[in-house]
Amino acid sequence: MNRPCPEPPGIASNFDALLLPPHPNALLRWLGFQALLLAGIALTVTVVLVTTADHGWKPTLIYSSCITLGCGFFIQGGRLAAAHFWTHRKLPKNSPERQNNWPGWPLMLVVLFLGTALGWTVGSTAGNWLTGYNSPALYDSSWRQAVAVMLFSLIPGLGLTLYFLARSRLSAAEARAQMAQRQAAENQLRLLESQLEPHMLFNTLANLRVLIGMDPQRAQLMLDQLIAFLRATLQASRTGSHPLSAEFARVEDYLALMKVRMGSRLQSELSLPPELAGCLLPPLLLQPLVENAIKHGLEPHVDGGRLEISARREGNSLLLQVRDTGAGLGNSPNPGTQFGLQQVRERLRTRYGEAASLSLEPAPDARGGALVTVKLPIEMQA
């Protein structure tokens, strides 16, 4: 049976600046927020109409809920479609502006108008089916009635559009700021890496100059090893990160270069578990630590010593250790400026912040020497 019913309310519930979150938990929170907002709008409209126009609670709440849901669906879907098919084509793929899914005001006004009309029509039809009433559709109403319904629906929708647009622009501004910070950190990291390369080369050439006068044949072999080492490290030093296996390979190249000069005075052992070979880290992170251990630890010893480089996992962290059996802390005749250690610390701070650390301490056993430990978050190669 068709019964007369007061004019149902129109409302456009619009969530203009929200993305569909990719993570399941974030998606549930997003859907929960939208459901609460829809319920709040429907309840508010119901209270207003019941208290001001003497409408019944139950049918008014049903119509309010149906129309709110319909308007929200069509406006939200229209906004996403307009942003995807028109606005996004003009933006770079990595642009933060893509995050707000905003099609621009001209298209958004069209979406608001059409979404409200479609949402009201579908919601009113659903309300008629649920209540048994026969509320007239927009096209069956007088033009004054239709204009009043559309204005009543558009005003809340427009208000929510402005609110979520402001939120989205704030999120986009934060994304741009984070991108700028990442770019600044990457530039700082490249600067630090570029400073390490000439520092290592200067030390090696100084050693080569001494060796030329003492043993020309070994000096020539060392020069060949230096050329091979520089060729191998050139590509690695131009990338932001590389696997730990590649880092150990560069250390082996450097040790081969140093063994030409030191001979049997330099003994080395590298320990890399296979499961950690794919861990990513900044290139040439270990080389300055190895260079420091040789220059200030092993070289001052007449008999040289042993150098041990190892990697192991500790929870979610990667521990890299460089241990020598040399002169020990404070006993080197040439303490130097600790340039290499400072640069490694700065690179870790720039790349990982407080999540990474570097420590230098006396070796824990009777063999003496020093122990350098680098701790950084584990990041596996894809």
Kindly report, residue by residue over 262-280, the tens digit of the pLDDT: 888 899 999 999 999 999 9
Residue 301 CB coordination number (10 Å): 18
Structural contact between residues 154 and 112, judged by C-beta atoms closer than 8 angstroms? yes
Contacts of 24 (CB under 8 A, 6+ apart): none
Query: Sheet of 305-314: strands edge to edge?
Result: 266-271, 305-314, 317-324, 370-377, 357-362
φ/ψ of residue 325, rounded to 5:
-110, 35
Closest Cα partner for 267 from 367, 374, 372?
Answer: 367
Q: Which residue has the tokens 């296996």?
A: 245
Hey, where are the domains in the chain?
A: 24-180, 215-377
Closest Cα partner for 115 from 158, 60, 86, 62?
Answer: 158
CA-CA distance, 319 to 296, in Å (whole number)?
A: 22
Structure tokens at 185: 């950190």
CA-CA distance, 286 to 206, in Å (whole number)?
A: 21
Where residue 207 falls (left for φ over 0; alpha for ψ -120 to 50; beta otherwise) is alpha
CA-CA distance, 156 to 151, in Å (whole number)?
A: 9
Model pTM? 0.50
Length of the chain: 382
Handedness of CA 246, 248, 254, 256 (dihedral sign): negative
Fold of 215-377: Heat Shock Protein 90 (3.30.565)
pLDDT tens for the chain, 382 residues long, are 444 444 444 443 333 333 445 456 766 776 777 778 778 888 888 888 788 777 788 888 888 888 888 888 888 888 888 888 877 677 666 665 566 677 878 888 899 999 888 988 898 899 899 988 888 877 777 788 788 888 877 877 787 778 777 877 787 777 777 777 766 666 665 655 555 455 566 767 777 787 787 878 877 877 887 777 777 666 655 667 889 999 998 898 888 888 877 888 899 999 999 999 999 998 888 988 998 898 888 988 878 899 999 999 999 999 999 999 988 777 655 555 567 788 888 888 888 889 999 999 998 888 888 999 999 999 987 6
CA-CA distance, 367 to 371, in Å (whole number)?
A: 11
Element (DSSP H or E) covering residue 204: helix 143-214
Q: What single DSSP character describes residue 272?
A: -
CA-CA distance, 363 to 270, in Å (whole number)?
A: 17
Structure tokens at 233: 């490290």
